[in-house]
């Protein structure tokens, strides 16, 4: 192990006691909650509100067509951010205790490859075996590739070096889109299908692209996604230190979140917030919200030790891959109907008479409940899908 690797890792005094942070599992579960049915439940509940509020909530639970930022845009980068937060524990601790560097390379390579493969399976590659009609880009694939490169950077740099890499990635990506010409489309275009990002994906990405001429999880936009993971790793460096108190850590996370939000908002005027491009302003803005959420969850669950408040989300968060991939192949709605359709049929008319939104709420809640009970069973029996 080189001196650089040694100085990158946490000191023995800092890593002597590194208990699992329940807040991270809860925050990951909060993130997954929206994907597995929380969004549908909130939409159903919004039907009780006035029309303008309904429309605003609906707009926050879907992606903007191009530029802009909605709550739904935070789901994906938050998960990648959390993966970065775990690096000081999963990688830094192993480096500190002398684990083989090549063993860690194999570990992160295997994880990245498994996520890419799971992403292909999720996209239906196993069902068709027609690679020309398969979408290779995926959410899981981007997480895997971004995590891989961020891990390599983490293992070879100190926090200051990671910050330099983060700044370099964000500036380099912005300058690439601004100054690299696209054949037949000119230079500096940020319109759909006309950007450097979209052009590179059309040239290099096999199979089909999600939007025909572009893909929001394509190759080149994975570069700034590495920055999202690095931002999480920097937050993790702080969380896993024992020489800083919990309240001070919370304050630092909050301040960092506000700074990232301000920088992302300011950058938005020249490089718009755009999840499709994973723009540099988007990395900072989504990272700012991720830091604020991490600060709140950490303060409440791990500093104030109110772990019971996070139990519902924690059950989801310890098995995120299971439910994300599982709901692609398991009909949880049919399961919910099997258990609840009889009871609901007796009250559906009465509920609808009270308010037409009640049957929608009951249906969404029953599906979400079944998924959570399955995850609770897996949690109680210590069954976890990890790569």
**Statement: residue 275 has pLDDT above 60:** yes
Instruction: Look at residue 35 and tell me if it is in a domain.
Output: yes
37 within some domain: yes
pLDDT for the residue numbered 2: 40
Is residue 366 situated within a structural domain?
no
SS3 (DSSP) at 278: coil
Q: Which pLDDT band holds residue 3 (cuts at 50, 70, 90)?
A: very low
In the chain, pLDDT over 70 holds for what percent of residues?
90
For residue 318, is it within any domain? no
Range of the domain at 286: 3-304
Strands 181-182 and 186-187: antiparallel
Return the pLDDT at 177. 95
Q: What's the CA dihedral at 102, 104, 105, 107 to 10 degrees?
A: 130
pLDDT digits (tens, 9 = 90+) for 40-63: 999 999 988 888 898 999 999 999
Q: Where are the alpha helices (DSSP H) in the chain?
A: 3-8, 12-15, 22-33, 39-46, 51-60, 75-85, 87, 93-96, 101-122, 125-128, 139-156, 159-179, 196-204, 222-239, 246-267, 280-297, 311-317, 320-329, 332-354, 357-380
146 pLDDT higher than 90 = yes
Q: How far is CA 216 from CA 79, 141, 267, 279, in A?
A: 16, 12, 20, 11
CA angle 302, 324, 153 (to 5 degrees): 65
Span 368-382, pLDDT tens digits: 999 999 999 999 988
| 201 belongs to a structural domain | yes
Residue 260 maps to a domain: yes
- Which tokens go with 214? 């572009």
Give me the pLDDT at residue 242, please.
79
Residue 12 has pLDDT above 50, yes or no: no
| pLDDT tens column, 127-138 | 667 777 888 889
pLDDT of amino acid 268: 97
The string of pLDDT tens digits covering residues 199-248 is 999 999 888 898 889 999 999 999 999 999 999 999 999 998 878 889 99
What value, to the nearest 5°, has the Cα angle with vertex 197 and ends 106 and 225? 40
0.85 cut: is pTM over it? Answer: yes
Per-residue pLDDT band at 8 (split at 50, 70, 90)? very low
Considering only residues 383 and 4, tell me which one the structure prediction assigns the higher pLDDT: 383
Give the model's pLDDT for residue 244: 85
Domain count, the chain: 1
In a domain, 79, yes or no: yes
Distance between CA atoms of residues 210 and 347, nearest Å: 42
* pLDDT bucket at 11, cuts 50 / 70 / 90: very low
Q: What is the predicted pLDDT for the residue at 10?
A: 43
Q: Residue 153's pLDDT is what?
A: 96
Q: What is the mean pLDDT of residues 331-336?
A: 86
In a domain, 316, yes or no: no
Residue 290 pLDDT > 60, yes or no?
yes
């Amino acid at each position: 192990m080189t001196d650089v690797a040694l100085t990158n890792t946490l000191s023995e005094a800092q890593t002597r006691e590194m208990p699992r942070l329940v807040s991270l599992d809860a925050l990951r579960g909060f993130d997954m909650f929206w994907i597995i049915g929380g969004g549908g439940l909130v939409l159903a509940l919004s039907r009780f509100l006035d029309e303008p509020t309904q429309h605003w909530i609906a707009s926050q639970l879907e992606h903007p067509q191009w530029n802009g930022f909605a709550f739904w845009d935070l789901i994906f980068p938050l998960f990648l951010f959390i993966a970065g937060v775990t690096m000081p524990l999963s990688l830094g601790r192993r480096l500190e205790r002398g684990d083989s560097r090549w063993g860690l390379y194999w570990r992160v390579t295997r994880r990245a490859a498994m996520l890419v493969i799971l992403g292909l399976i999720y996209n239906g590659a196993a069902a068709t075996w027609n690679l020309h009609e398969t979408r290779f880009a995926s959410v899981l694939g981007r997480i895997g590739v971004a995590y891989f490169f961020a891990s390599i950077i983490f293992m070879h740099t100190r926090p200051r070096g990671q910050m330099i890499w983060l700044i370099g990635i964000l500036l380099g990506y912005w300058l690439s889109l601004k100054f690299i010409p696209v054949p037949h489309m000119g230079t500096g275009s940020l319109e759909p299908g006309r950007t450097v990002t979209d052009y590179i994906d059309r040239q290099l990405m096999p199979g089909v692209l999600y939007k025909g001429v572009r893909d929001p999880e394509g190759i080149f936009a994975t570069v700034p996604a590495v920055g999202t993971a690095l931002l999480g790793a920097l937050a993790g460096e702080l969380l896993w230190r024992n020489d800083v108190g919990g309240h001070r850590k919370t304050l630092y996370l909050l301040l960092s979140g506000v700074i990232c939000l301000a920088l992302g908002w300011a950058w938005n005027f020249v490089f718009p917030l755009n999840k499709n491009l994973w723009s540099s302003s988007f990395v900072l803005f989504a990272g700012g919200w991720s830091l604020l959420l991490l600060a709140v969850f950490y303060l409440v669950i791990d500093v104030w030790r109110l772990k019971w408040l996070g139990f519902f989300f924690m059950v989801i968060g310890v098995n995120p891959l299971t439910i994300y991939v599982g709901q692609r192949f398991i009909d949880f709605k049919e399961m919910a109907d099997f258990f609840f359709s009889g009871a609901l049929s007796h009250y559906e008319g009465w509920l609808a008479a009270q308010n037409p939104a009640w049957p929608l709420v009951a249906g969404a809640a029953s599906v979400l409940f079944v998924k959570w009970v399955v995850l609770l069973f897996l949690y109680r029996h210590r069954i976890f899908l990890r790569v």
